[in-house]
Amino acid sequence: MPYNLPATRLLMNRLRQVMAEEGETRSRLDKVVRLIASTMVADVCSIYLRLQGGALLLIATEGLKADAVAATRLSVNEGLVGLVARRAEPMAIQDAPRHPSFSYRPETGEDPFHAFLGVPILRGGRVIGVLTVQNRTERAYDDEEIDNLQTIAMVLAEIVDRIDPDALNNGGNEKRERNTASLTGRVFCEGLGYGRAVLHDPVVPAAKFFAADQVTESKRLSEGMEELKASIDRMMALDGAALGEDPRDVMETYRLLAHDPSWAEKLQEGVKSGLSAEASVDRARREHRARLQSARDPYLRERLHDLEDLDNRLLRILGGEEGKPQISEERSVLVARRLGPAELLEYSNTGLRAILMEEAAASSHAAIVARALGIPTLGGIAGLTTRIDQGDWVIVDAEDGTLHIRPDDSLYDAYKGRVSLRSERQAGYEALKDLPARTTDGTEVSLMLNAGLDLDMDMMKQAGADGVGLFRTEFQFLVSESLPKLNDQIDLYKRVLDKADGKPVIFRTVDLGGDKVLPALNLQREENPALGWRSIRFALDHKGLFRRQLRALVRAAGERPLTVMFPMVTVASEFEEARDLLLTEVEWSAKRTGRRPSRVEVGVMLETPALAYGLPELAGKAEFLSVGTNDLMQFFFAADRMTPHVSDRYDLVSPSALRFLKEVSDACKTHGIRMSACGEATGSTLSALCFVALGFTTLSMSAGSIGPVKQMIRSFDLQAFRPDFLAALDAPKQDFRNQVLALAADHGIELSDG
């Protein structure tokens, strides 16, 4: 029969007492199931622990045979308990034996029981166990009972996650020692780091699960939600003309989720059941994460991401200063499911040793900020936030893309050896920074810096860069909740030119859309955003925004030289339209201020194969061309470099890609277009060697890559190497990459990667 809220609150208080008791885990679990069975007026209460392989082990029961504890196991595809674990949602069944998924286990003695209610025990978005109650009579459990059993399961998660299945009597409140774990990810910023894990997502400690005063807690929750809604309303208070209709629709949907009365009502119900405001929000977050794990529909996943983001925002508001990750002076490694560039910049002065991110695609902008900060970073680590706990010691090997959680002494000793070797290499690169990147036969190569923030410019002198070959202007837009004003843009571009101190700077105009979605300017959802309304297409359709940026660039240059290039151009007409807008702003500025740049150079990024065959139309119009390897190779191979299943198909060091780049090089020479290359590939010493052999004498890369590439260039004779390289390209072997590596070794070329 249904039970009342005071009884539930009493149960919560008793559970809190049991959690605080000393003694064996087995005896504490026995008390827990007795308490739940008594409060729920149930004949049976059982707890199942999900083991590493997915099986579910009975670890405590009241009402079934005691001998079944630690003996009964169900596979994740077996029984009603397995069904609850697979679906990650509650199941209430009036007559369980008649259900097609029912699995009878004679050792449990469950013959007399009919009604069944099971709820998942969730932690960190994963199912770690199942809590069930059963009754002899056939009965229907109501929504209130289901809701309260979910609340109880949330509290139990903190106990269940500490249980060692091989030794249920592992004693007291001590958390079992977890084994060392190793995970792999994608290297976003190279380096090595060691420290304690600090979770970016708010953590609700067990001590704050319960409300001391329900009325006060309900008021705190209401005030927190009002503050949340007000903050989102402020985001909405933007220039409607600048946003456009579709982006405002997306933002409005997000706002409606925050104002949804059913969400508020569910959170308040949690408080009424005895939970704190934080714990009630955390319960909702766990449910959203669990649903997200199994959601396949892209639209549903997007909405669940929004809901989880709202949960996290509200938790930070409720926690105040305590809700923020505590970065201590001790070694800290930041761990996050997703991380935006603005959020990462908040940690820029905290002395982080490394950054770990679970979701790679949403973190690509944060990765570029991480490179500017020079912090070793791994992304795309499947299961990261479910495998790592607050305070765990971790080793981040962002050279080969490996994360070691809770490392043992042998791993730590190996890490120290790697750090020592890396320090020696860095000292060698430091000695080269003031020397030219010149081959032994006298060919000079300009090594430029890829940048996007003030922080990058601080690395320019330290790295020994010859200038900035790519300044990504969109990051000023991405790290702000509102569109940057004209004067803010002028100030940034002036600082960049000042820090360059006369060295060349190539500004790439805004490259927005695709995976680069502004907090303040969300684009409409597209089936294939990489091929959609983005970059120069987006800019030319938003001429007000685009001209404002061009005006800022012209004003910032003053009477200094100005070099601008346009991204993602596919046909010459797009370049011409953008170039005309720039030149119009130059004339407008000259009339208004009496000043104009001493020289204006306009170039284009080659990021689509289509433009490669349109170079004759750019002759005499584009002063230079820069090969953007990231997008160009992605489109060339029809392979997303961020998708692990196809990333091995994305290889610039292959005959087809290099032959294509040779055609581009030859065409640029024919039509008098100066050429360079930028992107991730140029930072690889092997790829850079191929570019130089194809005639590229300007390469732009991250600051950390300049030292190794310069060392490589200074180690070989280009005139001797080029004929052998072109001969190999004409007659490639099956494993072409190894063929080029062997050729480099024959010529004594110093490569730091392969």
Residue 207 to residue 389: CA distance in whole angstroms: 17
Same domain, 334 and 398: yes
Contact (CB, 8 A) for 349 and 456: no
pLDDT digits (tens, 9 = 90+) for 160-185: 776 766 655 444 444 444 567 888 88
Report yes or no on 177 lying in a domain: no
pLDDT class of 16 with cuts at 50, 70, 90:
low
Tell me the residue ranges of DSSP E strands in 342-480: 354-357, 377-379, 393-397, 402-405, 446-451, 468-472
Same domain, 140 and 227: no
Mean pLDDT of 115-123: 91
CA distance to 130, 619, 693, 696, per residue, from 669 (Å) = 68, 10, 15, 11
Q: Which of 114, 365, 404, 542 is catalytic?
A: 365
DSSP 166: T
Same domain, 86 and 110: yes
**Residue 233: pLDDT over 70:** yes
Report yes or no on 428 lying in a domain: no
DSSP 444: B
Can you give the CATH number for the domain in which 343 is found? Answer: 3.50.30.10
Among 380-389, 419-428, 657-666, 677-686, name the one with the lowest average pLDDT: 380-389
Q: Which of 189, 668, 678, 690 is catalytic?
A: 678
Same domain, 600 and 458: yes
- Looking at the whole model, is its pTM more than 0.85? no
Residue 515 to residue 389: CA distance in whole angstroms: 29
How many other C-beta atoms can be found within 10 angstroms of the C-beta atom of residue 387? Answer: 19
Please, what is the average pLDDT of the chain? 83
Report yes or no on 169 lying in a domain: no
- Residue 678 known to be catalytic: yes
Report yes or no on 115 lying in a domain: yes
Look at residues 713, 681, 685, 701 and name the one whose alpha carbon lies nearest to residue 465.
701
Same domain, 123 and 191: no
Report yes or no on 751 lying in a domain: no
Same domain, 664 and 574: yes
Same domain, 478 and 606: yes
Exposed (0-12), middle (13-18) or buried (19+): which is 731, by Cβ within 10 Å?
Answer: exposed
Task: Name the token pair of 751.
Answer: 């490569």
Q: Is 424 helix (H, G, I), strand (E, B) or coil?
A: helix
Residue 176 to residue 181: CA distance in whole angstroms: 15
Domain of 47 in residue numbering reads as: 5-160
Task: Give the pLDDT of residue 747.
Answer: 96
Taken in order 245, 248, 250, 253, the sign of the CA dihedral is negative
Chain-centre distance for alpha carbon 508: 24
Report yes or no on 753 lying in a domain: no
Task: Give the pLDDT of residue 502.
Answer: 94
pLDDT class of 567 with cuts at 50, 70, 90:
very high
- Which domain-ending residue is among 388, 421, 454? 421
In total, how many domains does the chain have?
Answer: 4
Task: Give the pLDDT of residue 179.
Answer: 63
- Which domain-ending residue is among 323, 352, 367? 323
Length of the chain: 754
pLDDT class of 243 with cuts at 50, 70, 90:
very low
Same domain, 449 and 521: yes
List, edge to edge, every strand of the sheet that includes 56-62. Answer: 73-74, 56-62, 44-50, 126-135, 115-123, 91-93
In the chain, % of residues over pLDDT 70 = 82
Tell me the residue ranges of DSSP E strands in 380-492: 393-397, 402-405, 446-451, 468-472
pLDDT class of 321 with cuts at 50, 70, 90:
low
Same domain, 231 and 368: no
Same domain, 196 and 210: no
Q: Is 183 helix (H, G, I), strand (E, B) or coil?
A: strand
Report yes or no on 147 lying in a domain: yes
pLDDT digits (tens, 9 = 90+) for 518-556: 544 544 556 666 677 788 988 898 898 899 999 999 999
pLDDT digits (tens, 9 = 90+) for 129-165: 999 999 999 999 988 888 788 878 887 887 777 676 6
**Residue 117: pLDDT over 70:** yes
Taken in order 326, 329, 335, 339, the sign of the CA dihedral is positive
**Residue 330: pLDDT over 70:** no
Look at residues 583, 591, 560 and name the one whose alpha carbon lies nearest to residue 494.
560
- Residue 365 known to be catalytic: yes
Task: Give the pLDDT of residue 435.
Answer: 95
Please report, to the nearest 10 degrees, the dihedral formed by the alpha carbons of residues 39, 128, 389, 387 taken in order.
-170
